[in-house]
Amino acid sequence: MTINILFSAGGDKWATYEAPLRAALTSKGLNHTLAPDAGPPERVDYIVYAPDSTLQDFAPYRNCKAVLNLWAGVEEIVGNPTLTQPLTRMVDTGLTHGMVEWVTGHVLRHHLGLDRYVGATGGWHDLRVVPPLAKDRPLTILGLGALGAAVAEALVGLGFPITGWSRSPKTLNNVRCLAGDDGLREALSTAEILVLLLPETPDTTNLLNAERLSWLRPGAVVINPGRGPLIDDEALLAALDEGQVGHATLDVFRVEPLPDDHAFWSHPRVTVTPHIASETRPGTACDIIVENILRSENGQPLLHLVDRSAGY
């Protein structure tokens, strides 16, 4: 039997993914067709998908067994009323390692106060501030999914005391795990460095508003590689101006690319990076896609299946 796979993603992704995806399918002995035009919709068995695709009506794909998302985020597609097929999100080792490295780098940057020394040309005694050890720098992670858990593990390994928060209770080794509204206040109130790794859902939009920013320790650092809408931009700017937040390092935004006239670009206490904290790597991503096709064909549960009711 031949498995018919539609590749539906915008930009130059077909050129990027064709070779590694074909190689991964072939290595598992799967007879397949793979193309951006897979013929009549009723013949399609699987759709490898990115939300920037022109495909937005899934109703004709009535025999499709799964839509396999290339991105970790599914907020742009999960609410599509025509999407009744099982939907998976991307969780791959390349994406996870990239996020761990980016977050760890910026946590250490702020923990060690490295900005103080960048471009310095003198003033030995003014510059000489000895940072605390990691064990004396409480850090909070909002979001304990695959990425949050991996980041927590890495930072625990460096000696940071980690508090994690999630909507539903979780358990992680050497991490104080909190959940729910009461847990959120406690998690924020202990944070000198806060990392946001939550998905974007109606419940998490503007989660970090003026009131919740006031719960942080004065001068806390906010690091957001998760989703732009997690933070109320105006509330964050006000907290930065007041000194309640000491610095914000932001990789994701409500509008991307971030407009040239946005206040984040010019604010002295904001660092902007252009959505580079983590990226799906074709090699490892294709292995995950093929693994899910194999599982589906063998009647096994799909990996990283999206919970439509939760939105991720």
Nearest of 233, 279, 276, 274 to residue 257 by alpha carbon: 274
Q: Is 275 an active-site residue?
A: yes
Among residues 275, 281, 295, 308, the one annotated as catalytic is: 275
Nearest to 142 by CA among 200, 206, 74, 195: 195
Q: How many helices (H) and strands (E) does the chain have?
A: 9, 12
Closest CA to 285 of 73, 71, 76: 71
Sheet bearing 175-179, strands edge to edge: 175-179, 162-166, 139-142, 193-196, 220-224, 245-250, 270-272
Q: Which of 110, 167, 212, 227 is catalytic?
A: 227
Active site residue 110: no
Give the closest residue to 98 by CA, choosing from 290, 292, 283, 302: 283
Which residues are the active-site residues? Answer: 227, 275
